[in-house]
Amino acid sequence: MMNDVTRILSQIADGDAQAASQLLPLVYDELRKLAAARMAAEKPGHTLNATALVHEAYLRLIGPAEDARWRNRSHFFAAAADAMRRILVEAARRKRRAKHGGDRAHFNVNVVEPAAPDPRHDLVALDAALTRLEAEDPQAAKLVTLRQFTGLSIPEAAQVLGISPRSADRIWAYARVWLRRELSNTAADPQK
């Protein structure tokens, strides 16, 4: 199956219009699992679901405006991770706009007690922190994106980045500490 994906990606890059229709059945289940894992980390009440996220990401990857060439299966899934990240960040920003309720608290009128705030990180704050990390250390930012948005393991992400698993492990440890510090600073200073 891995060779089939790489072969079809090569055919897509060569302009074969039929190849795109052959790719989705081969990668759909894996993309769906990645999207489901990503959506599980989202705040409740999200308007997207895992299926919609996969379809939107796939359309962005294969669509006519895209002129990407993927070297292999890993490169394709890294591009899918980036597409999923952009889609989720765009949705979070759209939801924050004033015409969509902005930062007003949303609650279910059928619930007697107000829900406790969700302790999970804010996707927009994470995206801003990743952008700052990318300016400082692009490889660390890419590793975080591969781990967080595609669920790749350290060895898989290391292969995509072309580094050793040991180096990836060191970069991952650094990036987690860096992001934790940035996100706690952002929580303390929302203007950041």
Coil, helix or strand at residue 31: helix
Domains of the chain: 1-102 (1.10.1740), 119-192 (1.10.10)
Q: Which residues of 158-175 are buried (b: 16+ CB within 10 A; e: fewer)?
A: bbbbebeeeebbebbeeb
Q: pLDDT at position 184, please?
A: 83
What secondary structure does DSSP assign to 135-173, as a single string? HH-HHHHHHHHHHHHH---HHHHHHHHTS-HHHHHHHHH
Q: 120-134, pLDDT tens digit by residue?
A: 447 788 888 999 999
Q: pLDDT at position 67, please?
A: 54
* 165, two tokens: 């698993």
pTM above 0.85, yes or no: no
Per-residue pLDDT tens, the chain, 192 aa: give them: 457 888 888 887 777 777 777 888 888 888 888 788 777 777 666 677 888 888 888 888 876 645 556 777 788 888 888 888 888 888 888 877 755 555 555 544 444 333 333 434 477 888 889 999 999 999 999 999 888 877 788 998 898 899 999 999 999 999 999 988 888 886 655 555
